[in-house]
A and B are shown apart, each in its own frame.
Chain A
Amino acid sequence: MNAPAYNFAYLDEQTKRMIRRAILKAIAIPGYQVPFASREMPMPYGWGTGGVQVTAAILGPQDVLKVIDQGSDDTTNAISIRKFFAKTAGVATTTATDEATVIQTRHRIPETSLHANQVLVYQVPIPEPLRFLEPRETETRRMHALAEYGLMHVKLYEDIARFGHIATAYAYPVKVNARYVMDPSPTPKFDNPKMDNCPALQLFGAGREKRIYAIPPYTQVVSLDFEDHPFEPYRFNAPCALCAAENSYLDEIVTDDKGGRMFVCSDTDYCEGRQAAGHHGSLSAAPYKEKAQEASNG
């Protein structure tokens, strides 16, 4: 039997060269979706294969990798991807945003500001921001070529007419470097301002749809809006119940079946860091520890 033997970071060198060339063009044309010959990965399409291929193409032994899903290092898919690279590339991993050189993410941008020695790799399901308005690739490609984005503005304006607001809460479209309209991946619009003028390089990988795109560091990223209806980032009414953070994105936790709710940071590293630094929320009496670890220690 042909026993499988895999390369450093899983991908073969020919595949890495192809992805690397696509990444360079993506950086040179901010916000433009570069087609690439995405490979079948040993995890399903839609589960981060694009992000994984980008990470595999850039990762080296000196890197420190952080993987988050929904802002958390401990969601199952984040763990699965982190283990994949720990196994195939032997890289150091971390949950601390500060310490990471490469951060792969699904649906969030960390709360801690990124710095210039970092690369943020997004997993993207549908890279085409116009796809829900026009299903045909041949059409949307033409629209991007002509920078013809009227359709998107019509859609946003219809929202306003119907609801009084732009009714897009996540995957909120942005314009990059005043040229390409881009899908920021299904991050909440809360995170959109973090993309603008960010010191870190942002790379986006869509495996199933076979596209790679990028935002270079210090690049203008503007959320689409109208003069009379400016972009409003999402805000929460209450601080985090664990660390009392006032400016972080919160998960709503259903605590009972009688309408009980609490709100805690979606970025677990940020929240733990704040708690360790002595910030306490209204419900933070419980020590923030791994349940399973307690069980195995006890």
Chain B
Amino acid sequence: MYVAVKGGERAIENAHRLLAHKRRGDQGITEISLDQISEQLGLAVDRVMSEGSLYDRELAALAIKQARGDLIEAIFLVRAFRATLPRFGTSEPVDTGAMRVQRRVSATFKDIPGGQILGPTFDYTHRLLDPSLAEGFVPEAPATTEASTAPTPRVTDILGRDGLIESSPEAEEGASVGDLTREPLNFPADRDLRLQNLARGDEGFLLAMGYSTQRGYGRNHPFVGEIRFGEVEVEFAAEDVGFAVPLGAIELTECQMVNQFKGSATEAPCFTRGYGLAFGQSERKTMSMALVDRALRARELGEEALAPAQDEEFVMSHSDNVQATGFVEHLKLPHYVDFQSELGLLRKLRKEFAEANTPDAMKEAAE
């Protein structure tokens, strides 16, 4: 005899208990600490802070632990926490030119003022699994030297001095910067909103979109003008204090892409820009972001916009992994009511089809 399925509440509680148990794993093994995550899985923390839009290493580490290492789930946890935080205002723009640089490379010039600084990078490592890392590895102390006091001007500023690259578009004095977490997005969107969308966007999605521009779907002849990673100061101009108050330092990666030039009969040719910025160290993300930013400027630069990466509605509507994962995964929720509707319709159509396709002779014979 049929009894309708109930008891969902208990099922949920039990599932969550089991999840907590699985998350902890074998309790004979030491529990992982937030410090360990923050220190030893630092790039995962950086990604969660970037795409979660919240600079807080400890909360990001907690999110990674809670999400059992699923970074998109961790990003979601951070976003949900961030969503209802009160807003006190907007920070002053950070000056990446004054960054305390830990790494800085340019592909456009052999040497640059302040020098090329390799810093901590996977580049040029041989990707051979290293068994010595499996346990008890003590790294050599890093080589050190006096901190350089030489200024490290941005490569794009050097190009800009000679007019070789377009000047970075500047907003009007006092104009407010858009925020797509506070205002619903409308198309066409200005570059501030596009960059915000890309900065929050999924690294894998941006990588694929950026890659597609290199393979001819909206090619834009990119050169890495510069990638820099290091610390910058964040300041907040409090209205009632009357001056900017330092809030602390954050780590950022910035990529300035130098792209194919524009020009016309009335305008001297010059290179164009693509820009990428992320919390922490994230070169793949910032480079991909810079490629896509440049691709999305097609309309503004009078180029034909035919490729997916140049299509602002397409890119901006699908870049957010929290939105995407929610909607893809919602397909596992019950849909039996709508399915029943389709099922009924399909049965009816099949019946009508069968009737219509019964040969007349057979109909007559049956009669």
Report A's interface with B, CB cutoff 8 A.
Answer: 1-2, 4, 6-7, 10-12, 14-15, 35-42, 44-47, 49, 69-71, 74-80, 83, 106-108, 125, 135-138, 163-165, 167, 169-171, 186-190, 208, 210, 234, 236, 241-242, 249-253, 255, 262, 264, 266, 268, 283, 285-286, 288-293
Contact = CB atoms under 8 A, between A and B. Distances in A.
B31 interface: no
A12 B86 contact: yes
A242 B5 CA distance: 13
B6 A41 contact: no
Contacts of A266: 336-337, 340
A2 B57 CA distance: 12
Nearest to B349: A163
Contact of A46 (B9, B10, B326, B338): B326
Given A1-B58, A165-B349, A283-B1, A188 B337 contact: yes
B8 to A, nearest CB: 5
A47 B81 contact: no
B264 interface: no
B171 interface: no
A209 to B, nearest CB: 9
Given A286-B1, A292-B6, A292-B7, A188 B330 contact: no
12 contacts: A4-B81, A6-B84, A11-B84, A45-B330, A125-B327, A252-B343, A266-B336, A268-B4, A283-B2, A289-B3, A290-B7, A292-B6
Contacts of B317: 137
B341 A170 contact: yes
B186 A35 contact: yes
A77 B79 contact: no
B313 interface: yes
Given A35-B186, A47-B333, A167-B349, A79 B8 contact: yes
A76 B330 CA distance: 13
Nearest to B345: A169
Contacts of B345: 165, 167, 169, 234
A169 B338 CA distance: 7
B322 interface: yes
B7 A293 contact: yes
B344 interface: yes
B2 A264 contact: yes
A252 B336 CA distance: 8
Contact of B3 (A15, A136, A188, A286): A286
Nearest to A163: B349
Given A38-B184, A44-B322, A290-B6, 6 more contacts: A70-B334, A79-B8, A169-B344, A188-B338, A210-B185, A253-B2
A137 B184 CA distance: 13
B323 interface: yes
B238 interface: no
Contact of B326 (A75, A80, A163, A208): A208
A80 B330 contact: no
B341 A46 contact: no
A7 B84 CA distance: 9
Contacts of A241: 2
B40 interface: no
Contacts of B80: 40-42
Contacts of B7: 74, 290-293
Nearest to B331: A46
B83 A41 contact: yes
B243 interface: no
Query: Top 7 closest A-B pairs, CB basis?
Result: A45-B326, A292-B7, A46-B330, A44-B326, A35-B184, A169-B341, A46-B327
Interface in B92-117: none
B33 interface: no
Contact of B2 (A106, A171, A262): A262
B182 A37 contact: yes
Contacts of B322: 40, 44-45
B12 interface: yes
Contacts of A208: 323, 326-327
B342 interface: yes
Contacts of A171: 338
Interface in B172-228: 180-188
Contacts of B59: 1-2
Interface string B56-89: 1011001000000000000010011111111100
B202 to A, nearest CB: 13
B66 to A, nearest CB: 12
Given A2-B59, A70-B337, A286-B1, A45 B327 contact: yes
Nearest to A211: B184
Most B Cβ at <10 Å: residue of A14, A106, A208, A264: A208
A42 to B, nearest CB: 4
A179 B182 CA distance: 30
A107 B1 contact: no
B91 interface: no
B323 A45 contact: yes
A250 B77 CA distance: 37
Given A79-B8, A138-B313, A125 B83 contact: no
Contacts of B342: 169-170
A251 B337 contact: yes
Contact of B333 (A69, A169, A170): A69
Contacts of A252: 336, 340, 343
Given A6-B84, A75-B334, A170-B337, A46 B6 contact: no
Contacts of A268: 4
